[in-house]
């Protein structure tokens, strides 16, 4: 009987110690799960030229003292400056075309800022069929269908940008200085969110 009581006491003690030891886990258990959280940055989108800007073909007369201009508006109609009609002027031969640039794969209904090179020189040179001694043209004063330099993409993240500009001849170009040839330059358009 004594041994029975002693054994029972021992068992009770073990149970009590075990209960105390494990009590916190019984009163407050926990479980956990690892989960992946993601985000994706996509700043890049497409900007593709579909129609190069062109001032067409024209004849030009210069006097070595004044410049002349062709203003290319968004309706593809070049306005030819004839203020200096006695000397420096241009005469259209083929029509100019505005530049057309497609933006795609951008964020939907997002504002994108449009910026152009300050100016672009159109150079003929040997590659364009000239001697290299001819003067350049300058193109600047960009106009486009943005609102103060900001366009808004459609729900598909697309926009068609139409761009015009003004071509100006070199005021110092002497009579006959501009040679027959193709004058080209590279315009850089920055489109950023």
Partner 1 sequence: MRNAGLLSIIILVGFVFWCPVLAYATITEQQALSFGVFALRDNAAAYDMVVSPTGSVSNHASYVMISPGQNAVFDLTDLPPDTLLGVSIGDISLSPDAGGGPSFDAVDFTFSPANPVTDVSGAVTINVGGTLRTSGSGAMYSDAAFSGSATLQVIF
Binding site for partner 1 (CB under 8 A): 3-4, 7-8, 10-11, 14-15, 18-19, 22, 25-26, 28-44, 107-108, 110, 157, 192-193
Based on CB atoms, which residue is closest to partner 1, 153 or 162?
Answer: 153
Based on CB atoms, which residue is closest to partner 1, 7 or 87?
Answer: 7
| CA gap 59, 176 in Å, rounded | 10
Least distance in angstroms from the C-beta of 150 to partner 1 = 12
Least distance in angstroms from the C-beta of 26 to partner 1 = 5
Note whether 62 and 169 are within 8 A (CB).
yes
Based on CB atoms, which residue is closest to partner 1, 92 or 157?
Answer: 157
Exposed, middle or buried by CB within 10 Å (0-12, 13-18, 19+), for 35?
exposed
* Radius of gyration of the CA atoms of the chain, in A: 38
Based on CB atoms, which residue is closest to partner 1, 30 or 148?
Answer: 30
| CA gap 121, 185 in Å, rounded | 6
Least distance in angstroms from the C-beta of 50 to partner 1 = 23
Note whether 159 and 45 are within 8 A (CB).
no
Based on CB atoms, which residue is closest to partner 1, 43 or 186?
Answer: 43
Note whether 144 and 74 are within 8 A (CB).
yes
Least distance in angstroms from the C-beta of 154 to partner 1 = 14
Q: Ramachandran region of residue 55, left (φ > 0), alpha (ψ -120 to 50) or beta? A: alpha
Sign of CA dihedral 70, 73, 78, 83: negative
Based on CB atoms, which residue is closest to partner 1, 35 or 186?
Answer: 35
Least distance in angstroms from the C-beta of 161 to partner 1 = 18
Least distance in angstroms from the C-beta of 146 to partner 1 = 17
């Amino acid at each position: 009987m004594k041994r029975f009581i002693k054994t029972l006491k021992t068992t009770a003690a073990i149970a009590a110690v075990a209960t105390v030891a494990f009590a916190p886990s019984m009163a407050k258990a926990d479980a956990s799960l690892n989960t992946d959280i993601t985000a994706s940055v996509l700043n890049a989108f497409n900007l593709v030229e579909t129609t190069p800007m062109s001032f067409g073909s024209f004849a030009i007369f210069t006097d070595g003292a004044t410049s002349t201009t062709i203003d290319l508006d968004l309706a593809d109609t070049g306005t030819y400056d004839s203020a200096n009609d006695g000397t420096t002027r241009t005469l259209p031969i083929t029509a100019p075309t505005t530049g057309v640039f497609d933006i795609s794969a951008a964020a939907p209904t997002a504002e994108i800022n449009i910026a152009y090179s300050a100016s672009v020189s159109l150079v003929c040179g040997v590659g364009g069929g000239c001697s290299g001694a001819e003067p350049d043209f300058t193109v600047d004063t960009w106009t486009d269908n943005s609102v103060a330099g900001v366009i808004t993409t459609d729900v598909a993240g697309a926009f068609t940008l139409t761009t015009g500009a003004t071509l100006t001849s070199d005021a110092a170009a002497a009579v006959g200085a501009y040679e027959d040839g193709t004058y080209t330059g590279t315009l850089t358009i920055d489109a950023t969110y």
